[in-house]
Structure 1
Amino acid sequence: MNKFTTVVAVFCLSISNYAQVKEPSFKDNAEKILKAEFPSFRMLNVEYMQMGNSSFNSQLLGEDFQKGNLENQKSISVGVNLPVYRKKKLTITTSLNYKFNEFKFNNLENISTTQNFQQNEIVNFQNFSTALSTTYFSSLFAKPIIYNSSIIVDGNDQGIQRLKGMLGASLILKKTERTTITIGAVAFIDPTSQFPFFPTFTYNHKLKNSAWDIDFILPQRILLRRYLHKNGRISIGSMLNSNSFYVNIDNPNFPTVSQYSQLEINSGVIYEHKASNNFIVTFKGGISNFVSSRLTEKGQPNKDYFYKNDQSSKGYFNVGISYNPAFKKQ
């Protein structure tokens, strides 16, 4: 979700310095700055995340089910983006993604006396996805606009599970030396999405007589950031993070394949460092605050969940390294 929910808004925010140039430069510079600003759009991106201990309680079919501690949660993700077709106004890209999730529980206590559904102390999940994305650069009311569409196929180690889609557009409303404002919208062709449609709004403002700037993307993030030196940048703020994967359940009373989706708000510090002309290393750390967590039958609306849990706040740490051959030119 993180990548596809922000793609349209991110394009416009990233190209604020190029919003008033002619279309060929507009497109080329937009793509270069996008890859420089956001790891998930680079040719190769690898990330490791670990979260600390948190208490949790859960409900199954509307009844209290289990409570205990989520002692450890970690994930490893790998993403590859490759261009397929490029023209003056059109770019087609394919993406390949892999993610491994592991959850470690302890002090589990079954509250329900009617449900027979066991939870192992350590569980892990492997999920894959591939996407074909089309981005078209144009103008509307004499202002730059970007259209984006994606077809996504995903699954897990048990096989291919679903086909999804995404449509979006974003328009630059204002561009001055210090301020850029854009509006847009994103829609998911996916009944399981927690937010099937939402407007997007971005606001980037360089503070007067200051090295800091405000970077706001609705609904994805709000950051206060600055460059520490020519190869390093620090950001302070909050970002909406999501995690989704398929769960195979060996129990005749429940769906064979279900989809788990979780939202949280991660608040803390981000440091990005350009290690060489082609590599950027990113460190993130802070506090993660739980928003929602649901398990639904594969392909069913998210509101029709049969399992949910609540978690307390917890610490998190993330380190990533990404490669892109165009960094030297940027």
Structure 2
Amino acid sequence: MNKPTLLIIAFLITAFAPVFGQEKENTEQPADSLQQKASQSIKEKFPRTRILNFEYDQSLSRDFNSELFDQEFQEGEIKAQRNFNASVNIPIYKTRKWGVTGSLNYQFSEFEFDNIETTDITVFEQDGTVNFHNFSAAISSTYFSTLFKKPVIYNASLIVDGNDEGLERLKGLAGLSFILKRTKRTTITLGAIVFIDPTSQIPFFPTFTYNHRFKNSKWEVDFILPQRLLFRRPVGKNGRFSIGSTFGSTGFYVNVDSPNFAEVFEYSQLEIKSGIIYEHRFSNYLIGTFQGGIQNFISNRLTEKGEPTGDFIYKNEQDATGYFQVGFSIDPFAGKKK
């Protein structure tokens, strides 16, 4: 599950939760349309859904060992892994019930290896620094309606991606999300996602969110299956502090120059980051984020392009390590939505 896919899922599973920077109870705010509430809440929870977002993260040194075709392969040290991500989301068309958004994403990934054993075959590990440049574009159509007398959001998305060598794949997804319960302190939603992608490990999965503000407390719990479990509270007038864990992925295309291999592979790295997050709203238009803690690597696989990830030819295991991430988001239209 790559980052553009996770970004689009965000449009489906977080549409109705309370919003950072508002008053304590949303019910005290002036009535607003379902679409405006959904858009505002999504942008508060997921920086990459804002108009402009820039992130830099770095994980620290850890040892790794790997297997190629189920045989022991290389081992060594990843001294550092650095990622830079820039995303743009442009509203293309909007009515009271329909919305169409175009998204562009650039990801730079850099691995710094050391003490790698020399072999006749090189996948992408080698002593020194290895860089990867990946791009993606998506168009997403969202429809706001009701189901069983409950507000519901439908979404269909088309994604194309590639790297600096050219375009690689076209994929899609469809889904829905609707409210099960909404009170002053509790919001519960349920939904589902279907992937139009033969490489997906799970072609279908349910989505579930639970947001609850504790009584007579500034703390709240924010649970989003499968993306996060956070405990949060406001800090001052313009800040928010969170502690917990988030699930994510880093993926990119790898071009292999060897007559015994296919030309293009996909590397997928699934990870859980646990620690703290601090967000600060500098203005209506600018939000900064810092997070850091421990990063655990769940699955790291290399698969031929277009093949299911279960048919991987290479995998590695990496020790847990520390990480930090900084980001800035800009939404030029935020002031008009107050």
Q: Match of 1:177, SS?
A: coil
Residue of 48, 57, 67 corresponding to 1:49: 57
Letter in 2 for 1:3: L
Contact kept in structure 2, 1:191 and 1:302, CA below 8 Å? no
CA distance in 2, matches of 1:269, 1:192: 33
Any stretches of 5+ residues in structure 2 without a counterpart?
A: 20-24
Letter in 2 for 1:120: Q
CA distance in 1, matches of 2:330, 2:256: 37
- Aligned-residue offset at 1:224: 0.1
Residue of 44, 58, 80 corresponding to 1:72: 80
**Alignment deviations for residues 10-31 of structure 1 (CA, whole Å, 9 cap, x no partner):** 223357947xx98x71112221
Letter in 1 for 2:332: P
Contact kept in structure 2, 1:146 and 1:171, CA below 8 Å? yes
Q: Using a 3 Å threshold, how does the CA distance of structure 1 residues 300 and 213 change in structure 2: closer, same or farther?
A: same
Residue of 173, 176, 185 corresponding to 1:166: 173
Q: Name the counterpart of 2:256.
A: 249
Number of residue pairs the alignment of both structures matches: 325
Contact kept in structure 2, 1:168 and 1:187, CA below 8 Å? yes
Contact kept in structure 2, 1:82 and 1:93, CA below 8 Å? yes
Letter in 2 for 1:116: I
CA distance in 2, matches of 1:45, 1:193: 26
Residue of 8, 16, 25 corresponding to 2:12: 8
Q: Name the counterpart of 1:25.
A: 33
Q: Name the counterpart of 2:210.
A: 203
Aligned 1:294-309 pairs, distance under 5 A: 294-309=301-316
Q: Name the counterpart of 2:22.
A: none
Residue of 233, 237, 242 corresponding to 1:230: 237
Letter in 2 for 1:34: I
Letter in 2 for 1:155: G
Deviates more, 1:182-191 or 1:242-251: 182-191
Alignment partner of 1:146 is 2:153: yes
Q: Match of 1:108, SS?
A: coil
Any stretches of 5+ residues in structure 1 without a counterpart?
A: none
Q: Give the TM-score taking structure 1 as reference length.
A: 0.94
Q: Match of 2:260, SS?
A: coil
**Alignment deviations for residues 302-322 of structure 1 (CA, whole Å, 9 cap, x no partner):** 100000000000111000001
Letter in 2 for 1:27: Q
Deviates more, 1:140-149 or 1:4-13: 4-13
Q: Name the counterpart of 2:297.
A: 290
Alignment partner of 1:117 is 2:122: yes
Contact kept in structure 2, 1:14 and 1:34, CA below 8 Å? no
Q: Give the TM-score taking structure 2 as reference length.
A: 0.92
- Aligned-residue offset at 1:190: 1.2
Letter in 2 for 1:160: L
Q: CA RMSD in A?
A: 1.8
Alignment partner of 1:35 is 2:43: yes
**Alignment deviations for residues 107-161 of structure 1 (CA, whole Å, 9 cap, x no partner):** 1125x7xx63363222110000000001110001110111111100000000000
Letter in 2 for 1:51: S
- Aligned-residue offset at 1:6: 3.0
CA distance in 2, matches of 1:258, 1:63: 19
Q: Using a 3 Å threshold, how does the CA distance of structure 1 residues 14 and 136 change in structure 2: closer, same or farther?
A: farther
Q: Name the counterpart of 1:88.
A: 96
Q: Match of 1:269, SS?
A: strand
Same amino acid, percent of matched pairs:
53
Q: Match of 2:284, SS?
A: coil
Q: Match of 1:6, SS?
A: helix
CA distance in 2, matches of 1:55, 1:134: 43
Contact kept in structure 1, 2:156 and 2:173, CA below 8 Å? yes
